[in-house]
Structure 1
Amino acid sequence: MDRWGITIPFFDETLNESRSLIAELPELGYTDAWSAEVNGADGFVPLALAAEWAPALRLGSAIVPVSTRGPGLLAMSAATIADLAPGRFVLGIGASSPAIVERWNAGVFAKPYARTRDTLRFLRAALAGEKVSERYETFEVKGFRLERAPAVPPKIVLAALRPGMLRLAAREADGAITNWVSPQDVRKVRAELGERTELIARLFVMVSEDAARVREVARRMLAGYLTVPVYAAFHEWLGRGEVLRPMHEAWAAGDRQAAVKAIPDEVVDDLIVHGDAATCRARIREYVANGLDTPVLAPLSGGDVPLDQAVRELAPTLE
């Protein structure tokens, strides 16, 4: 069966409010539930609850940053979820961004590729129950061993937006997670990753036939993301450098409203799945046809139907 994931907790809902719908996900045909970690819920607690509420789901973090926790604490958190959901947990880690690491968490965002690589290597050893005493390029660990290593170590996947991290994921991890891509972009990402490595992507979806309303909401989201340096570089690599130049220039000049308005309709339509539910499901299938293994839907509020109805109407059982 194809994988068909969804983001938890749902937009504009608390974890408690999401409980009944999370429990319903397997009946609807969803196979995966993936958390996120930005400035809302953390990346692990929703998965711990979902392990109890929907024990048939594969659970994943997409992603937890490697620089906001110490390596040992990250291993402990991952081991806890792996113990709650043996064989069903996928640990997604990534470099994150300077805003999240430095401005919000008082950390240091340095050598993001090396820090992610080193954390991956540490976690492989630690989650296998090994005692780790190692000087890595970006940190040193002395004598760490998990008190209770998971019986089934989780798979580890990397947030990857460009060739270097995609190739690292192919060489040393169990998969790669990407974000803000079109179906055509998936082909370029897949070419760097290779055919054998799982590719996961979060897809923002609004069930609405009012394209103007979708674009108004989506432009604000896109401006906030695509001006972040890592995403700007990603979309430059994907070939959107020129079309997004007016947005970047307005943002750099401090004119946020002009930056939002400068995002062309075709960019919104490339990166946001929208239309009625059947149209959205067909669009998601385009991603899969182009090489995406695991679409992780992130239904947006403000569409034609309430969010819980959107989750049900986007279910693969309706295919």
Structure 2
Amino acid sequence: MTSETRETFGRIGIWSGALHASRTDDAGRDAIAEAAAELEELKYGTLWIGGSPSVDDAAAVVAATRTVTVATGILSIWDHSAEEVAARVAEIDASARGRFVLGLGVSHGPMVPQYKKPYSEMVAYLDALDAANPPVDQGRRVLAALGPKMLKLATDRALGAHPYLVTAEHTAEARAALGPDALLAPELSVVLDTDTDRAHTTARNMLARYLQLPNYTDNLLRLGFAESDFDGGGSVRLLDALFALGDAERVKARTQEYLDAGADHVALQILTAEEGGSGLPRAEWRELAEAFGDEL
């Protein structure tokens, strides 16, 4: 990984499924623009638009900011054709000035009626991006890779990988699979709450829906967890491995575990009990920015 790429992404970013301008009204879009501008001022390196966004969602965040990197985390290849995506990326390039990164993923069988041969479909999608006029350059796309085949593809056909819902141990394995030069930018979910029982409840409220998706559970089983760890929204062992739970210093320590395991960048997703795990948790973003300080 070059120093230029590390500088582009920064060490710490914010992942938020609430940064979807296309899913809200004018007031909601104004709130997103204001929040994005503040995240930039707080010095987070990259803003990841979570929850199957479109390029249009990213364009709205690009328009609201000036210097921060903006990435889709993750655009589903089933929702948008490669030709459509390439054309839209070209349209926002003038305002993005190299700040936009296209994160791509194959989503999940239970969520996509036409789901089939995800690896082959991703290869075909990348081929189409390469063939588009203009193409989406390999150095401006990342893949939501969990398993060995997709991680290898992220090395060969993209800038690197943006794994979601993974442990620090997976990050170490991903780094070994990717090699030293590819970007590795895992997501890490955070609950800023020193009440352990309440923090576990907030985490389980988010995790339960992902435990219905085989791509995630299969990956966790590969990492040594058991089916019993998925009961009731997740065992304490599983929660402690997948989340950063506690105060800001604990979040910093957990983030460092991922960096020490080989991550170039960690995308923090803040979950709050009040928001049901969603929304724009601006107070928590500020608290973490203050805690990380010059480390951002």
Normalising TM by the smaller chain, what interval?
0.7 to 0.9
The 1:239–1:28 alpha-carbon spacing in structure 2 relative to 1, beyond 3 Å, is same
Taking the aligned partners of 1:118 and 1:194, their CA distance within structure 2 comes to 24
Match status 1:45 vs 2:21: no
RMSD between superposed Cα atoms in Å: 2.5
Taking the aligned partners of 2:17 and 2:228, their CA distance within structure 1 comes to 34
Give CA deviations for 1:268-291 in whole Å, capped at 9, x if unaligned.
Answer: 011111111122122112211211
Gaps of 5+ in 1: 103-107, 130-149, 249-258
The 1:47–1:71 alpha-carbon spacing in structure 2 relative to 1, beyond 3 Å, is closer
CA contact (8 A) 2:142 2:158 kept: yes
2:35 to 10, 14, 21: 21
Give CA deviations for 1:127-159 in whole Å, capped at 9, x if unaligned.
Answer: 545xxxxxxxxxxxxxxxxxxxx8x88611111
Match status 1:4 vs 2:18: no
Q: What SS is found at the alignment partner of 1:286? A: helix
User: How do 1:102-251 residues align onto structure 2 when only pairs under 5 Å count?
Assistant: 102=113, 108-126=114-132, 128-129=134-135, 155-240=140-225, 242=226, 245-246=227-228
Matching residue of 1:291: 262
CA contact (8 A) 1:220 1:260 kept: no
Matching residue of 1:260: 232
CA contact (8 A) 2:119 2:150 kept: yes
Q: What SS is found at the alignment partner of 2:185? A: strand
Deviation of the 1:36 alpha carbon:
1.9
Taking the aligned partners of 1:181 and 1:290, their CA distance within structure 2 comes to 12
Matching residue of 1:317: 293
Deviation of the 1:60 alpha carbon:
0.6
How many corresponding residue pairs? 275
Give CA deviations for 1:179-238 in whole Å, capped at 9, x if unaligned.
Answer: 111222211121111111001111111111011111112123222112311112111222
CA contact (8 A) 2:13 2:268 kept: yes
What amino acid maps onto 1:276 in structure 2? D
Taking the aligned partners of 2:192 and 2:90, their CA distance within structure 1 comes to 37
Q: Quote the sequence identity (%).
A: 31
Q: What SS is found at the alignment partner of 2:162? A: strand
CA contact (8 A) 1:159 1:178 kept: yes
Which structure shows the higher helix fraction? 2
Taking the aligned partners of 1:197 and 1:283, their CA distance within structure 2 comes to 22
The 1:153–1:231 alpha-carbon spacing in structure 2 relative to 1, beyond 3 Å, is closer
The 1:113–1:52 alpha-carbon spacing in structure 2 relative to 1, beyond 3 Å, is same
Taking the aligned partners of 1:9 and 1:168, their CA distance within structure 2 comes to 25
Give the structure with higher Rg (CA). 1
TM-score normalized by the length of structure 2: 0.84
The 1:296–1:8 alpha-carbon spacing in structure 2 relative to 1, beyond 3 Å, is same
Q: What SS is found at the alignment partner of 1:178? A: coil
2:273 to 281, 285, 302: 302
CA contact (8 A) 1:9 1:46 kept: no
What amino acid maps onto 2:242 in structure 1? L
